[in-house]
Chains A and B, each alone.
Chain A
Amino acid sequence: MTSHRLGPEDGASSSRRAGARTTKAEFLARVRGEMAKTPGLFVAAPAERPAQPRQRLELLRRELSERWPQTLERFRAEFERVAGVFHRVPTAADVPAALERICRERGARRVVSWPSEELGVALAPVLSAAGIAVESMPRAVPPDAERLRIRAAVAEADVGVTGADLAVAETGTLVLVAAAGRPRSTSLLPPCHVAIFDRTVLVESLEQVGLALEAWHEGPAPPERGAVINFITGPSRTADIELTLTRGVHGPKEIHALFVDGGLGLHG
């Protein structure tokens, strides 16, 4: 035990001039200096990154496509365990009616949604006919004033409709990658979030999510990619007042998963 090593008087702080900022080089040099003093370490390795993750992910998807019904069943059970509401429709053509029902049951009049190109299905005709206003998010970035207006509209909306990039059976999680036309707030600001997806996004485990994350970061990001990836596991919740579970504290109070058996025709 090196008793002289404990405590701030040993730190670089005392020797610094007041007001001077630590540079990257100084900071890293100090880290290196301390690392060099470390005696007798045991052998440890981080998790091994998969080689060629894109290829591995493609292989995995092919494997998973053969057992998707079990994966979906597990997703449904876990999603419901975290208080999600699961829906299943035969084809993409049935999606707007299912959404209309969700809206009607909640008295929802205002819907914001990712554009139909991103969802793989057009909602507006059916919902508008039922007297529900649908605002589709822009795929190109509008001027600032318009961006602010859109943000206010999203904050006022009753329901937000998105797609999903992964649905994780182990945890009942939906993974959404922000991108042009796939904004973050659609799944965050409205009190009710509906995610529409099909079998192509189902994965079994967090480990497989790790592989997908590696694959998505192999090589330069596609230009439309956003700066945030969100994992969503159930509705927003807190237990901060006397450990009483309460939903919808900042994010949505309700989350729905709408699974389309026949596929959304998004993924070629």
Chain B
Amino acid sequence: MTEPLITTPLRERAAQALGDRFLHEALDIATTRFIALRRDAFGDFPEGEALRDRARAIKEATLQRLDAHLETLVANIERLGGHVHFATTAEEAREIVLDIARRTGARMAVKSKSMATEEIHLNDALQAIGVTPVETDLGEYIIQLAHERPSHIIAPAIHKTKGQVAELFSRELRRPGLPADPEVLTKIAREELREKFLTADLGITGANFAVADTGTVVLVTNEGNGRMVTSLPRVHVAVMGVEKVIPSMTDLAVFLAILAKSATGQKLSVYTTLVQGPRRPGELEGPDEFHLVLLDNGRVAQLAGPLRESLYCLRCGACLNVCPVYRQIGGHAYGYTYPGPIGILLTAMLNGPASVRDLSHASSLCGACADACPVRIDIPRMLIELRREVNVRGIAPRSERIVFKALARLLRSPTLYRLAARIGRAAQRPFVSDGRIRALPSFFGEWTKTRDLPSIAARTFQERWRDLS
């Protein structure tokens, strides 16, 4: 298992998030802005819809020949003088990176934001062997200093105020009295991290794509830290899920045209860096060693599994911003590395269905995520499958399984359904006021604790329909 199971119930985690007024406001502002930026970006881009279809087709086609594309990628990277490693589990991926760190005598590793390295919890492992990992994306740097975890895939520190960041920098960087001014704080981070870039031995990144045809690892950043990390240290290690491979440069152009628009509403992120192995003979700069760690960690099993389509994911964060649940509770409440609608699927992929017992219900199934997804992943369909799985495997609480079973019987039989409606109408009478049920006794009270239930109508639709015909 990649990550330990979270034992605090989701309800408690969510309640905590809902009680945090700043978080709530910050989430609202951030997600609303991201939604508008994305909408405007695609609004100005009529070919966007067709490109999304193409991108989806490329992802599907690539998975259908994944072995061949991986083989080509590996051959090309080796031809360019790079090394490729194969990690079946998170633990193996960590060990591979640690071995490289040990062998090269690394003391400090600068990292460019990477969900894959978050997923395998690489930082703690590096720390344990005496290599200091330094996150260099500003948001990640902030939360690393604060010993917290990212709350959003692309804006990891949206839950912190500028006042909190000023306080944090003043304390942790021993620069007392810093003002709550993003401009000043960014400049401080630039100075601190510039020195790290120039002295670190090891550069660690993820990868947004890898182009099989040419052996190219592609990194997309806005800050330029991806460029620093891949150019200044002696050794560069990229950790990448196997599903990130794409066949050709022509395909890459399709993805670049939709990725940033979906994530931040930019036509293109500031820096797109195509890395092709270590420094070449005539080059002034660049690492002497280049390593790619290909990560399975539950992905390969889904090639033929129910979550296959989530292997299309580009990690743009668009589904988080539009999700009514994410917008209320934010990333931390999900508990695992990947938050939001796609995060639930990825959590199940990496950690097994037990990890999503509650999370699989943290969705209204409204479909906004599927609409926003640049590669049109049918997230709601897979969430329903996960709920089924959690139920069928007996992971769900007994009470829930019994209710579902009863409900299924009821909904399949018109006679039973009619009968139940009649009984329900009579039984609800003491609890109804203004057409709503606000509190129910005992076991049923779990439902009404946090929400109202509309009462069963005086006459059901079926009854009215019968009268009409």
Contacts and interface: CB of A to CB of B under 8 A. Distances in A.
Interface string A225-268: 11111111111111111111010111110000000000000000
Nearest to A172: B267
A28 B68 CA distance: 9
Contacts of B376: none
A48 interface: yes
B393 A3 contact: yes
A50 B420 CA distance: 64
A179 interface: yes
B252 interface: yes
A45 interface: yes
B107 interface: no
Given A8-B298, A184-B231, A250-B193, A141 B283 contact: yes
Nearest to B303: A34
Contact of A230 (B271, B294, B303): B271
Contacts of A82: 266-267, 270
A227 B77 CA distance: 11
A41 interface: yes
Question: Which among A49, A227, A228 has the greatest number of chain B C-beta atoms within 10 A?
Answer: A227
Contact of A46 (B248, B294, B301, B388): B248
Contacts of B84: 24
Given A27-B86, A47-B248, A42 B139 contact: no
Contacts of B277: 227
Interface string A160-183: 000000000011110000111001
Interface residues of B, number: 124
B274 A250 contact: no
A37 interface: yes
A223 interface: yes
Question: Which among A26, A34, A137, A252 has the greatest number of chain B C-beta atoms within 10 A?
Answer: A34
Question: Which among A229, A234, A243, A249 has the greatest number of chain B C-beta atoms within 10 A?
Answer: A249
Interface stretch (A96-104, A123-131, A210-218): A210-218
Nearest to A175: B272
Interface string B302-316: 111111100000000
Interface string A26-59: 1110111011111101101111111000000000
Contacts of A5: 301-302, 304-306
Given A7-B352, A47-B254, A49-B248, A232 B393 contact: no
A88 B334 CA distance: 52
B201 interface: no
Contact of A240 (B67, B156, B197): B156
A31 B311 CA distance: 13
B305 A6 contact: yes
A141 B182 contact: no
Interface string A2-13: 110111111111
Given A44-B60, A239-B155, A11 B298 contact: yes
A117 interface: no
Contacts of A140: 282
Contacts of B339: none
A31 B267 CA distance: 35
A151 B253 contact: no
B427 interface: no
A185 interface: yes
B268 interface: yes
B252 A242 contact: no
Nearest to A210: B253
B296 A240 contact: no
Contacts of A38: 64, 303-304, 308
Contact of B252 (A2, A16, A22, A213): A213
B32 to A, nearest CB: 10
Contact of B253 (A41, A213, A249): A213
A120 interface: no
A227 B270 contact: no
A44 B61 contact: yes
Interface in A104-156: 137-138, 140-141, 147, 150-151, 155
A87 to B, nearest CB: 20
Contact of A214 (B57, B70, B249): B249
B348 interface: yes
B61 A243 contact: no
A206 interface: yes
Interface in B122-165: 136-139, 142, 155-158, 160-162, 165
Contacts of B415: none
Given A8-B351, A243-B33, A250-B224, A34 B304 contact: yes
Given A44-B61, A188-B227, A238-B222, A28 B71 contact: yes
A210 B218 CA distance: 14
Question: Which among B66, B190, B228, B393 has the greatest number of chain A C-beta atoms within 10 A?
Answer: B190
B105 to A, nearest CB: 16
Question: Which among A2, A6, A206, A230 has the greatest number of chain B C-beta atoms within 10 A?
Answer: A6
Contact of B190 (A137, A173, A248): A248
A264 to B, nearest CB: 22
Contact of B272 (A35, A49, A230): A230
Interface stretch (B7-15, B87-95, B402-410): B87-95
Interface of A: 1-3, 5-13, 16, 21-24, 26-28, 30-32, 34-39, 41-42, 44-50, 78, 82, 137-138, 140-141, 147, 150-151, 155, 170-173, 178-180, 183-185, 188, 206-207, 209-211, 213-214, 217, 223-244, 246, 248-252
13 contacts: A1-B306, A3-B392, A7-B352, A12-B296, A13-B88, A34-B303, A48-B250, A155-B198, A184-B231, A188-B227, A226-B280, A226-B282, A243-B155
Given A47-B54, A213-B249, A228-B231, 13 more contacts: A3-B306, A27-B88, A42-B60, A44-B60, A50-B250, A210-B250, A224-B282, A226-B286, A227-B276, A233-B268, A233-B270, A240-B139, A246-B186
